[in-house]
Chain A
Amino acid sequence: MSSFVSGSEESTKEFKGRFKVLYLAVIIASSIVLARLWYLQIIQGQELRDYSEKNRVKETKIVAPRGFFLDRNGEVLVQNLPGFSVTISPQYTIKLEQTAEEVGKVLNLPKEEIIKTVKESRYRNGPFRPVPIRENLSLDEVFKLKLIRLKHPGLNIQKNIVRNYPLGANGAQIFGYVGEISKNQIQFLNKKYTDIRFEQGDIIGKSGIEEVWEPSVRGVPGITFVEVDAKGREATTDTPSFLGLKAFKAKPGSNLVLTLDKDIQIAAQTAMNRDDKIGPRIGSLVAIKNNGEILAWVNSPSFDPNEFSTGISNELWEKLINDPFKPLRNKVIQDHYAPGSTFKPIIALAALQEKVITPSTIVYSPGFIKFGRRMYHDHTKHGHGNINVIHAIERSSNVFFYKMGISLGIDKMFEYASAFGIGQKTGINLSNEVPGLMPNSEWKKRQYGEEWQPGENLSNAIGQGFVLTTPLQMALAFNAIGTEGKLYKPFIVKKLTNHNDEIIKEFEPQLARDLSIADENGFKIDKENFKTVKEGMRLVSNGERGTARWYKVPGIEMAGKTGTAQVRSFSADQIYEKCNERSIEERHHGWFIAFAPADYPEITVAVLAEHACAGSSGGAPVARDVIRAYFEKYHPEKLKVKRSSI
C-alpha cells in the first residue's frame, strides 16, 4: 500500500514547478485579449458604434469592362454596350411581397416568380448578393422603376455592361460567348490561374477566344464603397477610403487584335449561306494566310452569342444542344472527317519523292482494279486510261492512287502525311481541338491487335479507311504544298493592346517546319516534286478535265483539290447511285481546299460541306467566293472582271 502511494508521488513530483509556466501562459494571453477588448470596446467603442449604426459602409465591386476584339485592320468584332438591369437585394428588402408585385407590374412578370427567384438566390448565395430580376431594360422600364424605387428598399437599377457581337451568328464558335461563372468553374479557374481571383457573379468567357484569353480579356475589377442608410437604401459616396481600405478603379481588360479580316469573314459567311441548288452549307470553312494567320473561320449552322450575354433561355439552349447539325460546335477543329481525295496530293508527293514514279510515268488507270479478292472502283465507271501524276490529280483518279498506295505501303504514307501534320493537333490556342488520325501498321496492332492488311493501303491512299483530318489541318497542309514546304503553326491573336491602344504583346508567325529542308532523319521533299503536284492542283481549277473547272476567279489562278468523305460505306452497286436521292444524313461530305495564286499562295481556304454530296459543287464555289473577296480587297488590280457571278 505504501509503495503505491509513494509511486504516485514519485511520478508527478518531477513536474513540480512546471505548472507555474502554465498558469503564467494563461494569465499573459488572457491579459493581451482583455487589453485589446478594452481598447476596441471602451476606447474606440463610440467611434465603431457610429460606423455600425449610422453609416453602414458596404463595399461594392466595379466590374471591369472586357477587352474588345478587333480585326487585323482595327474593325470591331466584339465589343461592350451599356445596359440597365434591375436587382433586388434580399439583405435590405423589408416587404418583398409588395416590391415583387410592383416590379412585376412594370416588367410584366408574375409576382410569384420574382419572389421565388429572390428566395432561391438568398438561400443559395446569401442575402448580400443582389438578385438580378431582368437584364437589358428598356428606357421606359428604367423610368418607371426609378419612380417606385424609393418606396422599396433593396430595389435597385444598375448600369451594367453587355457583351455585344456585331457579326451576330457569324464566327460565334471562334469568338465564343460569355456567361455567369458556375460554382465548379470558380474552383477550377482559381486553381488554374492562381494570380486571378474568380468570384461568384463574375461574367466569364465560356467558349472560343473569350474562354482561352479570359485572363487577358477580363481586366481587374475595382472597388468602391457604398453607404447604406438605416432603411437599407444605397447612396454612392466618394469615400475614397474606409478604415484603411482604399477604393480603386477597375482596370479594363486588354483588347485583342485578331488575324481575322472582318470583310473576308463576312464574305465567308455569305458564301457558306449561298442560295444555290444545294442551299446553305452545313459544315465549316477556314481561310488562312500563307504564314498561318487565320483570316476567316465559319461554322454552320451557327447561333447568336448575343443571346448568351443577356442570359440565355432554357428553350433556346435545349434547341441548340439538340440540333442534329450541332450549331455550338467549332467544327473547324472539333470535328474530324475522312479527307477523301483531298489526301491525294500528299500521296502524290510521297510517290514522287520515294521514286515510285517520275512526273512523266504513265500509269494505266481503268474504272476499277482487283486486289486480293476485292474490287476497288473509281468514281467514274470507265476510268481515266493512261495518265501521269499531274492528270491523276486533275481528274482525281482513284485507281492511279490505289496503285501508289500498294507501292508505298501504309508506313511510308504515314511518314509523309504526318510530316504535313495530319493526325496531330495543330496546337492552335483554342479549346477541344481533336487530333484526327493517321494510321500506320503499329497503330493497327495496338488498336485492334491485328496486322495491317495490304488491301487497306488502297482505301487509305485515297483518304478513306482510317484517315481522319480536321479542316484546319488540311488548310495548313495545303498551304505547305503551295509554299513548297512551309508548314506554319496557326494563330488567331496578333496583338494585345491596352485601352490606350498601346501594344502590350505581339505574336509572330511560327514556322513549324520547312519540308523542303532535310530534317534530322534526312526526311525532305524536293521543290521539284512540289511543283509537279502544284501543277496538277492548278489543273483541278483550270484544266480541261479539272474536277472544279467551273469555279474560277478571273485574273487569279487558283490551285486546289476536291474530295468526298463517305459518311458510311456503300456496297459496289450503290456506289453509282445518285447521292442526292439518299436521305440527307447518308449523303457524302464534300471537301474543297484551294490556294491562290496557284504559283505561290497568299491565301488558302478549306471548305467542308457536310452532306453536300460532292466537293466540287458543294465546296468549290464557297472557297472561290472567299478567294475572290480576298483579292478584291487586297489586290483589286489583279482581277480582270470586277464582279461576276455564277
Chain B
Amino acid sequence: MSTNIKVTERNFFQRLDSNYIFVILALNVIGLINLYSATHSVNVTYNEKLFFQQIVWLFAGWILFFTTTFVDYVFWKRISWVIYILNILLLMAVMFFGKEVYGSQRWLDLGFFRFQPSETVKIAVILMMANYLSAKSAYKGLGYRDLLIPAIITGIPFVLTVKQPDLGTALLMAFISTSMIIFVRVKRSILILAAILTLFATPIAWNFGLKEYQRNRVLTFLSPGRDPRGTGYNSIQSKIAVGSGRILGKGFRKGTQSQLEFIPERHSDFIFSVLSEEHGFIGSVTTISLFIILYIMSINIAVGARDKFGTLIVVGVTSSMFWHMFINIGMVIGILPIVGVPLPLLSYGGSSLLTTMFGLGLISAVAFRKYLF
C-alpha cells in the first residue's frame, strides 16, 4: 500500500475531548455560585456547610471522571453484572437498615456520608442494558422475547425503589431503559401494544399502585387549589420565584422568594428556582443551553463510538441526564407534578453528583477510545 496516509499517535491530551470537559466545568461553576446563594440566606446559617461539602464532592467527582476516562470501557462491560448485583443488594439493605427522611427510606448511613443506592443503581442498569442490547440489536428491531431480560434488569430495582417509596427515581429508571430500547429499535407491533397497554394500565396503577399522597400530588398538580397546605403551595411559590426573576433576575443572593425561605428544598430539588429568580430568563436560558450543548456533544460521541456497547452507554447516560433535567425543571416551572428528582450538576447531593460525574466519565471514555491510534 503506497502511503499518503500519515499515522501519528495522539497523546493523552489530544485524545481527551477538551470542549466536553469545558462545558461540564461551566455547569459546575454555575452550580456552585447558585448553591452558595441557596445555602447562605441572610438569617440562616445551618446549611452553610452543605456548600463546602459540595466542593469536596466535586473534587472527588472529577477524580472519578478522569479515572473512568482512562479505563477502557470494555472493563465495565465485563463487570457490569457485578456492579448490578452489588447495587441490588444495597437497595435491599436500604429497606432493612435505611435511614428514614421525610417518610421514605432512601439512604444508607455510612457515618461520613449518607449513601443513596437508588442513584447509583441507574448507572448499573444502563451498563447492564448496554451490555445486553449491544448483543441483541438487529436491523429488524427487537422482538418480544428480546425484551424479557431488559424487563427483568429494570424491573427488580424499579420495584425496590417504589417500595422505599421513591416513585420519581423508579419512573426515571423506566424512562432510561425505555429510551435505550426505543433507540436500538423495536418491532412496530411492540410499540403499538405498549401504547395500548399504557392506556389501560394507567387507571389500574392509579387506583392500586399509587399511595394516597402520590395521587394527591398529581391531583394537586392538575388543580393547585385542591391542597393549599402541601404541594400546591410549594408549586405556586416556586412559580412565583421563577416568574419574578423576569429577564435579568433580582441579582446574586437577592432573590426574596428563596432568601426569605418561601421555597422548600431550595438547595436540592428546587435549586433551579433559585437560579431563575436571581438570574432571570438570561440565566435560565444560558444554563439550559449548556445542558443542550452537553447532550448534543454526547450524541455526537455516540455516533463516533468504536462499538455498539460504547454507543449504548452514551445513549443511556445522556438519556438519564436528559430525563433528570426535564423532570426537575418541569416540576420547578409547574409543568410536571412534584417528584423528588435532583437536577444533575446543580442540586446539592453527593450520591447524585458522583453518579453524574461517573456517567460523564463513561461518555468521555467512549470519546477517548474512538481513535484507533
Contact = CB atoms under 8 A, between A and B. Distances in A.
Interface of A: 4-5, 8, 11-12, 14-15, 18-19, 21-23, 25-26, 29-30, 32-34, 36-38, 40-42, 44-49, 51-53, 56, 59, 61, 90-91, 93, 122-123, 126-128, 187, 190, 194-195, 197, 223, 241, 243-247
B268 interface: no
Contacts of A46: 246
6 contacts: A23-B299, A41-B245, A46-B246, A49-B246, A59-B233, A247-B228
Contacts of A4: 372
B48 interface: no
Interface residues of B, number: 66
A127 B244 contact: no
B306 A8 contact: yes
Q: Is the interface of B mostly helix, strand, loop or mixed?
A: helix
Contacts of A53: 244, 256
B341 interface: no
A245 B225 contact: yes
Nearest to A123: B46
B308 interface: yes
B36 interface: no
B6 to A, nearest CB: 16
A122 B261 CA distance: 12
Pairs A-B, 4 closest by C-beta atoms:
A48-B243, A52-B244, A45-B246, A245-B228
B288 interface: yes
A386 to B, nearest CB: 70
Contacts of B277: 52
Given A36-B335, A127-B261, A11 B243 contact: no
A220 to B, nearest CB: 11
A202 B243 CA distance: 33
B229 interface: yes
A22 B134 CA distance: 18
Nearest to B100: A187
B243 A45 contact: yes
Given A34-B285, A48-B243, A22 B256 contact: no
A45 B228 contact: no
Given A12-B307, A48-B244, A61-B229, A22 B183 contact: yes
B19 interface: no
Interface in B26-67: 43-44, 46
Nearest to B232: A245
Q: Is the interface of A mostly helix, strand, loop or mixed?
A: helix
A19 B185 CA distance: 11
Interface in B311-335: 311, 315, 318-319, 322, 326, 329-330, 333-335
Nearest to A191: B103
Given A4-B372, A61-B229, A91-B43, 17 more contacts: A22-B299, A23-B296, A25-B322, A26-B295, A29-B326, A30-B292, A34-B288, A37-B284, A40-B242, A40-B243, A41-B281, A41-B284, A44-B243, A46-B246, A56-B262, A59-B229, A197-B230
B281 A49 contact: no
B143 interface: no
B299 A12 contact: no
Interface in B237-291: 239-247, 256-257, 260-262, 276-277, 280-281, 284-285, 288
B224 to A, nearest CB: 5
B244 A36 contact: no
B9 interface: no
B246 A19 contact: no
A223 B233 CA distance: 12
A8 B299 contact: no
Interface in B127-143: 134, 137-139
A223 B229 contact: yes
A14 B137 contact: yes
B307 A37 contact: no
Contacts of A19: 299, 302-303
Interface in B69-107: 100, 103
Contacts of B303: 12, 19
A45 B246 CA distance: 5
A187 B334 CA distance: 28
Nearest to B256: A52
Contact of A128 (B243, B244, B247, B261): B261
A244 B222 CA distance: 12
B72 to A, nearest CB: 14
Nearest to B284: A37
A190 B230 CA distance: 14
A21 B186 CA distance: 14
A33 B256 contact: no
Nearest to A35: B335
A15 B308 contact: yes
A380 B143 CA distance: 94
B225 A246 contact: yes
A48 B250 CA distance: 13
A33 B330 contact: yes
B311 A40 contact: no
A8 B370 CA distance: 10
A492 B213 CA distance: 34
B191 interface: no
Nearest to B310: A12
Contacts of B224: 243-245
B245 A8 contact: no
Contacts of A245: 224-225, 228, 232-233, 236
Contacts of B333: 33, 36-37, 40
B153 interface: no
